[in-house]
Structure 1
Amino acid sequence: MTLLFIGLILWTGAHLFKRIAPQKRAAMGDKGKGLVAVGILAGLVLMVIGYRGAEVIDIWYPPIWTVHLNNLLMLIAVFIFGMSATTGRLRGRMRHPQLTAVRIWAGAHLLVNGDLASIILFGGLLIWALLEVVLINRSEPWDRPAPGHAKKDPVLIAITLVMFGIMTAIHAWLGVWPFPGY
């Protein structure tokens, strides 16, 4: 659990550094981008190692139907995450599509994982994403991008389905089958 906590702290600190100490971050110049990237990557690696190595301490036992709700929410999260890169009509519909997707992802995983390590990991990332949105909204005005062409929206749907399939395959490869009963 220690590595999980350290990873969460590194991830959160590296991401929030620009928001909490903008002058210090700006003074670091381009070198600061590399240091932040290293902090984020180190945090990610430590979270994965810490989570996979954590003792399973069950806090609650989710009902089986929450797995289906999780899968639906994950499909929505992948779609919303993709909205950040779309050039279609959906561009600019949401200010923080990536952070919104992280919040949906974390909430969905909290629905299906009742162990302490999962609550710490997904709950911690949910809190980080919420805090990040608040800090961004306070510090930066939003210049909403103009919508693109509707013909690009089917591309987003196709990419969403492919990415969801890849994520499902990775979960299966790791030994977590996301479709119980099938």
Structure 2
Amino acid sequence: MMGLLVLGLLIWVGAHIFKRVAPEQRAAMGDKGKGVVAVALFISLGLMIWGYGGVEFIPVWYPPAFMVHINNLLMLVALFVFGMSATTGRLRGKMRHPQLTAVKIWAVAHLLVNGDLASIILFGGMLAWAVLEVILINKAEPVWDRPQPGEAKKDVLLVVITLVMYAAISAIHVGLGVWPFPG
């Protein structure tokens, strides 16, 4: 199962950086290439979920219980930052790579509360991918055309959506048997 997790992670990284490391080949694929990349990403997610869910638990370190509180706070921040990529409010354009920054926050949050080998591979691998992706994007496109900010009320909507998404993701974790709140 560890092999499936690693394979899924490698496909995820490869599919995402393909456009950056082989732009001519990706461009030659045209619109059909988007479908190929989407299928690769779908397969990679399935492999990572299946592999992570079935892998033997191999403890590497034992996170202290208080880390759950830090994880939960970081997850709220990650969801908010991720949402900044779609906002049309005042926060629009405050951050160049909000989705990738959110992945970094998400990965660090999960590394703080999961000390097993599979978690270190999955969340550490996603963290490394997000860092690499930002480097590759900034190298390929060094100039960023910052979008103009919009209305402040859209930022309020972002907060509401963040809280709803946090509740939904927490419910999914509970449904999977992972209680995300300290008792």
- The TM-score normalised by the length of structure 2 is 0.98
- Contiguous gaps of at least 5 residues in structure 2: none
Question: 2 CA distance for matches of 1:8 and 1:122?
Answer: 10
- Contiguous gaps of at least 5 residues in structure 1: none
Partner of 2:150: 148
Partner of 1:168: 170
Partner of 1:18: 19
CA RMSD of aligned residues (A): 0.5
Question: 2 CA distance for matches of 1:175 and 1:73?
Answer: 21
Partner of 1:3: 4
Question: 2 CA distance for matches of 1:41 and 1:19?
Answer: 20
Partner of 2:137: 136
1:114: how far off? Answer: 0.2
Deviations 1:49-98 (A, max 9, x none): 00001000000000000000000000000000000000100000000000
Look up the SS of the partner of 1:86 in the other structure. Answer: coil
Partner of 1:83: 84
Which amino acid is 2:67 matched to?
Answer: T
Question: 1 CA distance for matches of 2:38 and 2:181?
Answer: 34
Which amino acid is 2:23 matched to?
Answer: P
1:96 matched to 2:97? The reply is yes
Most deviating of 146-155 and 59-68: 146-155
Give the number of equivalent residue pairs.
181
Which amino acid is 1:168 matched to?
Answer: S
Question: 1 CA distance for matches of 2:73 and 2:166?
Answer: 10
Question: 2 CA distance for matches of 1:50 and 1:84?
Answer: 30
1:178: how far off? Answer: 0.6
- The TM-score normalised by the length of structure 1 is 0.99
Partner of 2:44: 43
Which amino acid is 1:135 matched to?
Answer: L
Look up the SS of the partner of 1:8 in the other structure. Answer: helix
1:152: how far off? Answer: 1.1
Which amino acid is 1:149 matched to?
Answer: E
Question: 2 CA distance for matches of 1:152 and 1:13?
Answer: 35
Partner of 1:124: 125
